[in-house]
Amino acid sequence: MQKSTYESPLNTRYASKEMQALFSPDTRFRTWRLLWIALAEAEMELGLPITQEQIEELKEHQNDINYEYAEMMEKEVRHDVMAHVHAYGAQCPKAKGIIHLGATSCFVTDNADIIIYSKALKLIRTKVLNVIRKLSDFAYKYRDLPTLGYTHFQPAQLVTVGKRACLWIQDLLFDLEELDFVLEHLYLLGNKGTTGTQASFLKLFDGDHEKVKKLEQLIAEKVGFKRVIPVSGQTYTRKQDSRILNVLSAIAQSAYKFSNDLRLLQHLKEIEEPFEKNQIGSSAMAYKRNPMRSERISSLARYVIVNALNAPITASTQWLERTLDDSANRRISIPEAFLAVDAILNIYINIADGMVVYPKMIEKRVMEELPFMATENILMEAVKKGGDRQSLHERIRVHSMAAADRVKKEGLNNDLIERIAQDSAFGLDINELKDVLNPRNFIGRSVEQVEEFLKDCVKPVLDANPVEEIHVSLNV
């Protein structure tokens, strides 16, 4: 179907329906009504002239929002919160006079934002745990498969496939720690009033400070929060938004690192992301298997990392008790960061569910490089048989240079081991040299590190956080 207006790809292509629903206008306005009900209930419980009948009327219409009326009112009053106050009042004639009593707009906007962000962070948390669990299974399965390690993308000492996967998991564990801190320290705005002094509520309760304090506590409890920000201007400090976008950026960074690693490994034909039966890698080159999932993670992660600058800039430029230059930016930057990270984790889950490992290709590349790495071990074995260390060192150097030239200049295989076997100065036959070249002799504590890490660091987290397993099928 032809569409003539812009639609965010985060909605149409990438983010989950669950995350889209959390940031929908419907969720936002229902949450406003939840807060108005909590405010009215708490004010009634503390002695203001509000009746249970009025509360029940508000509850009856919490979720059937009269959007057409609200839109009509917003065109008239040019204020979204007041438009919805009028719309709610039109549905609740008995409670009309007590809706939003004593509150300013930020009572519903800021508190609703924190409630929604909390739910969104919990959804992100569930998906991070799913990735960790899937990568943990992968790491354990391949804990002892030797593979060429790289520094500067140049061949280095051997690791194992499982050991490398533990690097990806560890980054996510750090992110999970940060995510839990942010969740635990999310503060509602509470009912602070126009400049944060609670003056309107103090007036409502005839100067009773304890009732004003109790009102804030009751509202928080009714919407499921333990923390209310102690002091504020009209809004909660936008430093909270910085914390939220920073942790979303951190998750994006971890996923980015993984996706880059996988793109390199797919180029080496060692590990590939899933590839569907009818998937097309290139419109021109039919043989191609492009790492499109990993590339999409990289692309979206870059967006999140850059977008995370919005919150600190906004937080640092707020004027005194309130300025409105945060509003339009926050409406875009925060929801889209959540939607993008949700999309990133969906793809990460999908890849972690179906990574394809090619052990023979991994072994081939290991054996191409291992002779060079094994020269010190070969030298020691030859010395044990009575050879002169300094003389043998020079002979290995010469053989290594010749073998390297053969590989680089002539495109032939690495014949260093054959050269050494044919050199009587070493006193080692080809079978003895092959024993030295067993890749498992060069992986250090990789296997033990994987097992210890999964047992001591990962399993306790997964055991303490049982979550429903998620499988993601990507449509595009």
- Give catalytic residues, as residue numbers: 152, 282
Radius of gyration of the chain (CA): 31
CB atoms within 10 A of CB 151: 8
Between CA 469 and CA 476, with CA 474 as vertex, the angle to 5 degrees is: 165
Residue 142 contacts residue 70 (beta carbons within 8 Å)? no
Tell me whether residue 394 is exposed, middle or buried, using C-beta atoms within 10 angstroms of its C-beta: 0 to 12, 13 to 18, 19 or more: exposed
Please name the amino acid found at residue 49: P
Question: With contact defined as beta carbons under 8 Å apart, do 299 and 256 qualify?
Answer: no
Distances (CA, A) of 392 to 374, 378, 404, 428, 432: 14, 10, 18, 12, 17
Distance CA 348, CA 341 (A): 10
CB 396 within 8 A of CB 420: yes
189's tokens:
């705005």
| Distance from C-alpha of 60 to C-alpha of 92, rounded to nearest angstrom | 9
Q: Tell me the C-alpha distance between 220 and 226, whole Å.
A: 6
Neighbouring-strand partners of residue 188: 228
Yes or no: say if 160 and 450 are a contact pair by the CB < 8 Å rule: yes
Distance CA 303, CA 338 (A): 11
Q: Which pairing describes strands 356-357 and 146-151: parallel, antiparallel, or unpaired?
A: unpaired
Which 8-state DSSP code applies to residue 188? B
Report the amino acid identity of residue 332. Answer: I
Determine contact, residues 438/374, Cβ cutoff 8 Å: no
Query: CB 422: neighbour CB atoms within 10 A?
Result: 12
Eight-state DSSP code of residue 63:
S
Are the C-beta atoms of residues 247 and 179 closer than 8 Å to each other?
yes
Token digits for 68?
């057409």
